[in-house]
Amino acid sequence: MTIASAFAAGVRIRTLVFLFCFNALLYMSFSVLQDDLRALASYHLYSSSSANVTSNVTGSGTIASNIVQTDDSITLAPDLSPEPQISRKANATLVFLARNSDLQGVLKSMESVETHFNQRFGYPWIFLNEDEFTNEFKESVQLKTNASVQFGVIPSRHWYQPDWIDEGKAEQARNALKAAGVIYADSVSYRNMCRFNSGFFFHHPLLQQYRYYWRIEPDVDYFCQLQYDPFDYLEDNNKTYGFTIALEELGQTVTTLWQAVKEFMEQYPEYIHPNNALAFLSDNGGETFNLCHFWSNFEIADMDFWRGEAYTKFFEFLDSKGGFYYERWGDAPIHSIAAALFLDKTQLHFFNDIGYQHSNIMHCPQQPAFLTGSCTCNRVLSIDYRRYSCLPRYNKMLNGKW
């Protein structure tokens, strides 16, 4: 072999190697794309028309905003404009109950909500407190958003322990819970807060003009860019109550709650929806409470439900038992039990695509919902299928599958 032919053979081999690698790369990219498309094709969050997905924020340049889904197929629509545009705005507000001392945690949560959602949607914020907010609180909060902000004081009768509560009995109960090592066992203010969130926040004058709310608490984190309006989603799909995390309650805080609920069900059977979600709350047809509830530090829901006849009667009935003070009934089980019993179970909604963390518990979307936004959470750490999560029970109740 001459030097020239050896060189030519070398070039041919290098060309062949290059072509082989190029094809392998092409094939791998195609497989990844196929996987993503398969995942998108099984993405069934939006059960109604494609208009819901694209009407609110258009052309944001991300995969989620370009999803167009018909009943059985999914395609990617062209990205028409670089900036998100809001084409409608729900009758909704972001509600934040806080103390002046919560300021740093409040600002942290606001930052997270604004960057992941509200900068693009501009929903108004409402802050509530049983005391006046300080100027420092108001000024700092106002600086965190371009949306409107209002500050409200809670009427005393909606907050403080009522006179008809036997304080001696309540104190004994607090001490007993404390001895049992239960969190917030001896806190009266925590009980005021739980009762207020259960029965009164939606009656506050500042909230009267609104139907939907998103509840925010101090020190929470959001992880995914939300590409659609969750309020519009509820309205368009006839949903009433949305959650991200479902958990078991501490049994000692609700010892007699289910007994009271059973009494209510007997007395007012007309309020129990025939297609209810009782199976989420009870594993034995309603005899006992399995402690499952939606974690109410995150809620996106319809206040007209809380303002309606069934819930009004329910709250008054439970309040009259004194369990907010004689035990430590939380607003989470109260809201959840009502939503599960009085609504059609299809009116509940798991906001799977909202990555969210409160204290050390986190929900991070799994495939395929992970593809709907740029989420920064670690999917492996999501609470969904871990101990104490009630999501499997929720799924079973809804679809018959854990």
Catalytic (active-site) positions: 299
- Name which of 111 and 283 has its Cβ closer to Mn ion: 111
Among the candidate windows 22-30, 95-103, 245-253, 317-325, which touches ligand GDP by CB under 6 A? 95-103
Contacted entry of ligand GDP, Mn ion, none for residue 40, CB cut-off 5 to 8 Å set by kind: none
Among the candidate windows 149-157, 267-275, 296-304, 380-388, which touches Mn ion by CB under 5 A? 296-304
**Rounded CA separation 77/65 (Å):** 9
Q: What is the dihedral of CA 138, 162, 322, 184, to 10 degrees?
A: 40
84 class by beta-carbon count within 10 Å (0-12 exposed, 13-18 middle, 19+ buried): middle
**Rounded CA separation 262/311 (Å):** 15
Helix pair angle (331-342, 188-199), 10° resolution = 20
Contacted entry of ligand GDP, Mn ion, none for residue 97, CB cut-off 5 to 8 Å set by kind: ligand GDP
- Name which of 97 and 300 has its Cβ closer to ligand GDP: 97
193 binds ligand GDP (CB under 6 A): yes
Closest to 117 (Cα-Cα) out of 98, 77, 145: 145
- Name which of 297 and 336 has its Cβ closer to ligand GDP: 297
CB 106, min distance to ligand GDP, A? 8
Contacted entry of Mn ion, ligand GDP, none for residue 138, CB cut-off 5 to 8 Å set by kind: none
99 binds ligand GDP (CB under 6 A): yes
102 binds ligand GDP (CB under 6 A): yes
109 binds ligand GDP (CB under 6 A): no
Residue 134's alpha-carbon distances to 109, 129, 189, 322, in angstroms, are: 19, 11, 19, 32
- Name which of 125 and 295 has its Cβ closer to Mn ion: 295
Among the candidate windows 99-107, 182-190, 210-218, 331-339, which touches Mn ion by CB under 5 A? 210-218
319 binds ligand GDP (CB under 6 A): no
221 binds Mn ion (CB under 5 A): no
97 binds ligand GDP (CB under 6 A): yes
- 3-class secondary structure, 21: helix
217 binds Mn ion (CB under 5 A): yes
Closest to 246 (Cα-Cα) out of 396, 381, 393, 391: 391
Q: Which residue in the set 52, 58, 244, 297 belongs to the binding site for ligand GDP (CB under 6 A)?
A: 297
Helix pair angle (257-267, 309-321), 10° resolution = 130
313 class by beta-carbon count within 10 Å (0-12 exposed, 13-18 middle, 19+ buried): middle
Q: What is the dihedral of CA 321, 326, 332, 335, to 10 degrees?
A: 10
The answer to whether residues 402 and 280 touch, using CB atoms and an 8 Å cutoff, is no
Interaction site with Mn ion (CB under 5 A) = 217, 297
Q: Which residues bind ligand GDP (CB under 6 A)?
A: 97-99, 102, 129-130, 189-190, 193, 217-218, 297
